[in-house]
Amino acid sequence: MRSPQYSSDAQDFYTNGNLEHSFRLPGVSCEVCRTTHGGSRILSISAPPQIQNDSRFKSRWPIPEKEHAAMQKEVAGYLNKEFVSFVTFKPGDNFQPAYLDIPAKPTTDFLWPNVRSFVISERMKTLVFDKLSVDVEIVPVHLRKIGNLKHPDHDETIDPYYQVLLKSESDYPKGGEPISICPVCKQEIFDDQQRELKMREKMWRGQQIFFLKTTLYLVVTELLAEKIKKTHATNVDFVPF
């Protein structure tokens, strides 16, 4: 499942807008495995109030692994959450809320303003995604700017939209098992020449919608694809995978 092909970047932005998460964990520069990295995972957790005025949680600039682990522990403490270093939270993790800016009033069932997730209309939430709670988390999107209208969240003429966060991945693709995993920052190293970016039945873990592991490819079952098609959903495309 993916966005349709657009005639230009301008059409893409006009249709889908941009989704921003203001609060995040930075990347990491790990002295153990000698790598610098940061992902783009989006959490359903709201940024704790204690970090919202802290510039450390607004930058992607990588920091040393010990400092990063301390930041993770700090966030876990604010959330009263048990955590495992570099597992519960990862470098580059984004917190809620998410803010949508789009040049015109959105009218489609799907929006694609973010590489890690997608956004759906309330109609699509009710007809399809509310029934997928095992596979996804659904988080309200804050409408920050629609055209020239700022902070339109309470405009009753604009329907609400929701961000869909996938909970699951497939198994590793053929040749895609990590050749090493850092014991500290958990960074996985792959042989890209051996990795086959193709979904095979034996990689499926039973979910209806999921990521192809090691990628941001969004995979849905044929059954779910047909269910979405029957709703005549707009601004979404399906290709065999």
Question: Residue 153's pLDDT band (boundaries 50, 70, 90)?
Answer: low
186 in any annotated domain: no
The pLDDT tens digits of the residues spanning 214-239 come to 999 999 999 999 999 999 999 999 99
41 in any annotated domain: no
Burial class from Cβ neighbours inside 10 Å (0-12, 13-18, 19+) for residue 104 reads: exposed
Q: Provide, rounded to the nearest whole percent, the portion of the chain with pLDDT above 70.
A: 97
116 located within any domain: yes
Assigned domain for 123 exists: yes
Helix (H) or strand (E) holding 9: helix 9-16
Is the predicted pLDDT of residue 38 greater than 90, yes or no?
yes
Classify residue 97: in a domain, yes or no. Answer: no
Q: Is 100 helix (H, G, I), strand (E, B) or coil?
A: strand
pLDDT given at position 152: 67
In a domain, 134, yes or no: yes
Which domain does 150 fall in, by range?
A: 107-166
154 has a pLDDT exceeding 70: no
**pLDDT for the residue numbered 156:** 63
